[in-house]
Amino acid sequence: MGKSRRGRRPLAAVRLLIGTAIRVDPRRALLVLILSPLLNVVAALQAVGLQWMVDGTAGHDRTEAVRGGLLLLVVTVFVHQAAAVATDVRLVLQHRIGLEFDRRLMNLCSTPAHIGHYQDPDFLDTAEVVRQRRGEFGTALAALVENANLVARCVGALVLLACAHPLLALLPLTIVPLASANRRQARLVAAAERDGAGADRRRKDLFDLATAPAPAREVRLYRLSGELSSRHREAFLAASGPREAARAKGAVAVAAGWLFFSGALIGGLYLISRAVIDGTGSAGQAVLVLLLSTRLVGATTGLGWLIGWLRRALDTVSQYLRLVDHPQGDVPDGTGRPLPPRGDLTLHGVSFTYPGRTRPALGPVDLRLPAGATVAVVGDNGAGKSTLVALLAGLQPLGEGRVTYGGRDLAEVSPEVWRAHVTACFQDFCRFELPVREAVGLGHIPALDDPRAVRRALAASGADDVVAGLGSGLDTQLGRTLPDGTDLSAGQWQKLALARAKMRPAPALVLLDEPTASLDPDSEAALLHHYLRTDGAHPGTITVIVSHRFATVREADLVVVLADGGIVETGTHTELLARAGRYATMYGLHAKAYAPEPVAEPEPAPAPVAATTPAAPVAATAPAAPVRAASGAAQNGRQVPAGVHTEFAVDAGEVALDRTHGQAETVGDGPVGQAGGGQ
């Protein structure tokens, strides 16, 4: 089945190419696809006009000679002018086809409901080939038309040669073995190019390393120029060696095809020469055969190049078809099911495994995120934090289990409807090289052109200081790729990403995956404190923060600790410290990293009495969100910001992270710095 499908690919590619051309510009497409081959048939009449001129001159027939001259003149002028027009029309059509395939490729990669295809190596390899060759979509039509022109030229020559001598009609057919040999050589070269694609990509990556500005400092510091150049040459040889060997292998058959065609051509010239000598043929016929034979030789000279061009062009379109046929997984349509206005977000036995792996990256997990809660997710690298964020956002299909919001299964809701109520700042945020107003406004397309909404988002995220330092304010062009673009620091780009996440009004879910990784700790604390306080303006909004910095984590209503893809602890900051488990160990190690001297490790806190403080089970449903402190509430003489539990409100001097000197400090009523606590 695989072979037959591969055999159908070129035909499907031709149909797609012609159909796209007709769809984007019907008149130009028909003109190019019909006029160009027709011109090559008409061009054969030049040989007829020359034959009449020679025969008329030799036979002293002025009428025939003049008729032949006029035919030659009219055909030559018409073909020349029409070919110029056809070329101009074809160039415009090629440009439009290229734009259309660009649009389709962008939609193909960006519109699927899930992003699972970006974890599939087969999809990534095919997409990389298509991206590198995307400029060939437009020229693929030119390759198709030029090969059609060659066929038309042979057909016109066949008809006229048959009129001169019946056996000469076989002369164009002698090109078939040569064409087959060229096709075989092109197939061998294409296979070698696919096998060497990895080495060729490595060669391009090495070239980028040596010429791009980003790695310039380390290239010079470590004197890598010679090493990169040497590896670039090795990669070139690894990629080009098999290709040249394949070309040499196919050259033997090509040479044999040329010998066969040359022998047939010599035989045809011998036949017409004998006919002229015997008086059964005319000198004009000899000129016609000689002219058509010369044109056939010219056509066959570029035959290998034309067939190779067409094959590569159709292979590029076939690679695009592979992307189109790539399975996207089961996506629930959820047609007609609205989203509840507000509610808890609950995971029921949810698990997910990445393509090509057997071990789940997450799960199975059960977790309830209460409406209006701020939830912190912590864990070591590879624990499954980013996978959990992707599943919550509906960006990955569930392997098992289900997710409900306000009691409604999200499988019954369209992914587009759910994502319209979700906003996020991801760890690998995007740097949109656009004017500031658009780079932020893209977070909510309806408000893209509303400067007031953009400024509100900037203020709510604490990013208005970034714009204040730019010469043109919201109209400042960002990025280094444009002549007037302004580049920003990593922290400034991240602040704009946070502002973009603030554009969507009253979201149901806010996801912050390492949202301040590019900021210093002081800036992070100030920014997130301000950012989370503004979320209180949207009652019911669930905020999920993934962070390695515990100064942020301790302010959450609920802390979820992940390890090896599963939930090992849940609870408040104070509760988890009191349990002296994994979270307390992580917190103590983090505190030590910020202390100038070793943080004292007191004896582990005694286990809480079961009757008064039940231990939370691992991977259990999270407790309901505790009651929040009212805005401006006081605790022990300190003001408590809205949205922060009173037991979490502590002075900076009470935390070991703020460089205390070797003393175990307390946050609320739970001890800090228990590195030796229960693992």
Percent of the chain with pLDDT over 70: 81
State how many domains the chain has.
1
DSSP code, position 77 = H
Q: Which residue has the tokens 């099911």?
A: 337
Give pLDDT tens digits for 544-562: 999 877 777 888 899 999 9
Q: Which residue has the tokens 């910095």?
A: 549
- pLDDT confidence tier of residue 324, bands split at 50, 70 and 90: confident
The answer to whether the CB of 600 falls within 8 A of the CB of 674 is no
Least reliable range by pLDDT among 87-96, 248-257, 285-294, 368-377: 285-294
374: phi > 0 → left, psi -120 to 50 → alpha, else beta; which?
Answer: beta
What pLDDT, on a 0 to 100 scale, did the predictor assign at position 2? Answer: 46
Q: Is 305 part of any domain?
A: yes
Mean pLDDT value of segment 465-471: 89
Q: Is 315 part of any domain?
A: yes
Q: Is 536 part of any domain?
A: no
The DSSP bridge partners found for residue 546 are: 377, 513
Q: Is 551 part of any domain?
A: no
Q: Is 416 part of any domain?
A: no
The answer to whether the CB of 321 falls within 8 A of the CB of 9 is yes
Among 186, 184, 104, 108, residue whose Cα is nearest residue 137: 104
Among 300, 223, 222, residue whose Cα is nearest residue 255: 300
d(CA 433, CA 71): 60
What pLDDT, on a 0 to 100 scale, did the predictor assign at position 446? Answer: 92
d(CA 576, CA 105): 48
d(CA 188, CA 324): 26
462: phi > 0 → left, psi -120 to 50 → alpha, else beta; which?
Answer: left
Inform me whether the pLDDT recorded for 259 exceeds 70: yes
Among 443, 438, 493, residue whose Cα is nearest residue 463: 493
Inform me whether the pLDDT recorded for 378 exceeds 80: yes
* Domain span at 190: 2-195+249-325
Q: Is 415 part of any domain?
A: no
The tokens for 74 are 């009219």
Give pLDDT tens digits for 574-606: 999 999 999 999 888 877 766 555 545 545 544
Q: Is 284 part of any domain?
A: yes
- pLDDT confidence tier of residue 319, bands split at 50, 70 and 90: confident
Query: What is 617-633 written as a DSSP string?
Result: PTTPPPPPPPPPPPTTE
- pLDDT confidence tier of residue 648, bands split at 50, 70 and 90: very low
The tokens for 143 are 């390759």
Mean pLDDT value of segment 324-337: 65
What pLDDT, on a 0 to 100 scale, did the predictor assign at position 500? Answer: 94
Q: Read off the pTM.
A: 0.67
Q: Is 28 part of any domain?
A: yes
Average pLDDT of every residue of the chain = 80
The domain that holds 22 is classified in CATH as 1.20.1560.10
